[in-house]
Each structure stands twice: as C-alpha cells, then as structure tokens.
C-alpha cells in the first residue's frame, strides 16, 4: 500500500471510515475489518466521537489492541453528543480530547479534527486549545472537516505561528465534485493542506453493485437510507451518470471501484481516500483498487461526470 504525507504523518492512500463501527458492526466484525486493513497495509482509520453512539472509538481501540503502533488514528469532535448542535469552545475541545483518548485506549491521537465549524466560537479559540493539546503530547496533528475555502484561510490565519490544520475532509467523488467547484481543493493547494475525501463511492453507487434495471442490493448503505436521502442518490441524474460510468468501465475492462479510487488519488491534494467497509473482503477490494489511470481515461471520466 502506497503512503502519502499528511502533515508529519504518513498515511495509506486508502483509509478506513469507521462510521459503521458500533452501529452496523459489533466488536467482532469491527476487529475483523481492522485487522484485515492492517494486514493489507492500510494504516489510516478515521472515526469520530459521535459515531456508533459513542461506540466507534471504543471498538476501534479494542480492535487495534497490541497493533496500535501500526495505525494512524484520526478522530473528530464538535458535534454535541445529543446531536443538538455544534460546540468548539476551548473547554469542550479539551473535554472531547480526554474522552476520545479514554475510549480509544491510547495516550495520543494522531489527527484530531474539528467535525463542523462552530459559528459561535472564533477559530482562534478552538485552534488555540488544539495547539495546547499538541504541546501536551496528547495530539500529533490537527485538522478539520466540512469547512469552506474561506474558512480554511481564516483558520490558517487564526493559527498564527503555531500548529495549523494540516487536513480537511469533504465529500468528493465522481458523482460529487463540489470541492473542485467551491474552491476547497484549490485552497488545499494554496495552504499546503491534505484533502481527505469521504463518501468516495457515493453511498455505494460507485461500487459496481448498482446495475441498470436491478433492485438495490439488500443490506447496503443505499438500501437502508431514509426515503428522502434515497431519493437524491437514486435520482435520474445520478443514475444516468452511473450507467455511463458502468458502460465505460466495461469498455475499458476496469472495475468501477478502481475508477472511483484512482480518479480521486489522481488529485495531488488527496492524502487518503476514506472508505467504509463491513467485512474483510471489502477491505481487500478497496486496498487493491487504486491504479495509475492513463491521461485518456482521466479525461473521459471528467467528461462523463462534469457539469450540473
């Protein structure tokens, strides 16, 4: 597994999104996914305090066990645990760090990330508290998620001469190219930040399992979605693009999975592609998906997925 730089960290090009841990996956299933990932050379695990109703971090920590040193753990804070809003005050930053350390069963968090911006708390206060955690040896690097390009620049200024955000997470895939449009990718290049795309497989539409004229496979993320969200992902615009991508993948004798991961990794700012997995087989498929696409293939993928 190739690795890329994220601040002072070295992360695998494919990471594991841990949103399923503690919800769809129990401890045994989580452990199977985590150990399979480590065996494949995948070292980047992205979780959050609220995932799995506060169980994801705990299950990840247990699963890593004696292999903790092989992993780069990224976790997020900021969403209140009762899901009533966002908080990033210095006091809450410190509280969340201590609780995440305890749940993860570790003495340091490799990448500590602000989950959502808190409009009521200045970036300088939030980042100041995160910088203190680095100075105390409790956190190695800091990052963020769901910030706009303007907010990334504001946060960089707010960090002053101290440690600053080394990464940002946003939704990015062949079916959602908004980071290219809204300037977040350009801001990453400008500020020297790593980009971490989530939903790289567009909630399963880019796995190759969603086929024209066939029902959505049972048990998949798409099949379990509420009807209002399902309507977006299964709307005519996205389904027609999936059909076009499927036809092109078959023409090129390349899997949809390979196109999805490899296209993302063709962007220099991307440090690791965060993908969920429910079993060891999916981990293996994700880990072996990336290849170097030809310029012609990249151009055609752009043509098939650009525009409104």
Contact in structure between 267 and 277 (CB atoms under 8 Å): no
pLDDT value, residue 224 = 66
Q: What are the structural domains of the chain? A: 3-205+256-293 (3.20.20.100)
d(CA 47, CA 62): 14
| Half-sphere exposure of residue 52: CA atoms within 13 angstroms, side-chain side | 24
pLDDT band at 307 (very low <50, low <70, confident <90, very high): confident
Catalytic residues: 51
pLDDT digit string, tens, across residues 184-229: 999 999 999 999 999 999 988 998 877 666 776 666 666 666 777 7
Do the strands 165-171 and 194-198 form a parallel or antiparallel pair, or are they unpaired? parallel
pLDDT exceeds 80 at position 120: yes
pLDDT digit string, tens, across residues 76-111: 999 999 989 999 999 999 999 999 999 999 999 999
- Cα–Cα nearest to 193, from 164, 222, 173, 218: 164
Cα angle: 33, vertex 36, 42; to 5 degrees: 100
pLDDT value, residue 220 = 63
Strands (E), the chain: 3-6, 9-12, 14-17, 44-46, 72-77, 109-114, 139-145, 165-171, 194-198, 273-276
When pLDDT is averaged across residues 114-127 and rounded to a whole number, the result is 97
d(CA 262, CA 258): 6
When pLDDT is averaged across residues 131-148 and rounded to a whole number, the result is 98
Contact in structure between 13 and 274 (CB atoms under 8 Å): no
pLDDT digit string, tens, across residues 236-292: 788 889 999 999 999 999 999 999 999 999 999 999 999 999 999 999 999 999 999
Weakest-pLDDT range from 14-28, 57-71, 155-169, 231-245: 231-245
Give the list of residues 6+ apart from residue 300 with CB closer than 8 angstroms, or none. 248
Say which residue, 119 or 221, is predicted with more confidence: 119
When pLDDT is averaged across residues 17-40 and rounded to a whole number, the result is 97
pLDDT value, residue 209 = 77
Would you say the C-alpha torsion 143, 148, 154, 157 has a positive or negative sign?
Answer: positive
pLDDT exceeds 90 at position 4: yes
- State the average pLDDT for the chain: 94
- Which of helix, strand or coil describes residue 279? coil
Q: Kindly report the pTM of this predicted structure.
A: 0.94
Contact in structure between 162 and 131 (CB atoms under 8 Å): yes
How much of the chain exceeds pLDDT 70, in percent?
94
Length of the chain: 308
d(CA 163, CA 25): 35
């Amino acid at each position: 597994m190739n690795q890329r730089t994220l601040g002072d960290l070295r992360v695998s090009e494919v990471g594991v999104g841990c949103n399923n841990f503690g919800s769809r996956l129990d401890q045994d299933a989580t452990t199977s996914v985590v150990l399979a990932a480590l065996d494949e050379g995948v070292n980047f695990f992205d979780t959050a305090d609220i995932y799995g109703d506060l169980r994801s971090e705990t299950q990840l920590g247990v699963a890593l066990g004696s292999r903790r040193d092989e992993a780069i753990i990224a976790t997020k804070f900021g969403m209140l645990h009762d899901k009533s809003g966002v908080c990033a005050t210095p006091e809450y930053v410190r509280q969340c760090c201590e609780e995440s350390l305890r749940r993860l069963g570790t003495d340091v968090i490799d990448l500590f990330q602000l989950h959502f911006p808190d409009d009521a708390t200045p970036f300088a206060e939030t980042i100041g508290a995160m910088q203190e955690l680095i100075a105390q040896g409790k956190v190695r690097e800091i990052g963020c998620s769901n910030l706009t390009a303007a907010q990334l620049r504001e946060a960089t200024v707010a960090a002053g001469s101290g440690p600053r955000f080394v990464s940002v997470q946003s939704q990015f895939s062949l079916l959602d190219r908004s980071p290219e449009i809204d300037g977040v990718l350009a801001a990453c290049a400008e500020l020297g930040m790593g980009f971490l795309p989530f939903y790289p497989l567009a909630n399963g539409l880019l796995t190759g399992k969603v086929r024209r004229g066939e029902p959505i496979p049972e048990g998949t993320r798409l099949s379990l979605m509420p009807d209002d969200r399902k309507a977006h992902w299964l709307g005519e615009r996205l389904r027609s693009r999936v059909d076009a991508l499927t036809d092109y993948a078959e023409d090129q004798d390349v899997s949809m999975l390979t196109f999805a991961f490899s296209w993302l990794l063709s962007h220099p700012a991307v440090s690791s592609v965060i993908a969920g997995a429910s079993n060891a087989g999916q981990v293996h498929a994700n880990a072996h998906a990336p290849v170097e696409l030809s310029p012609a293939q990249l151009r055609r993928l752009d043509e098939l997925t650009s525009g409104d």
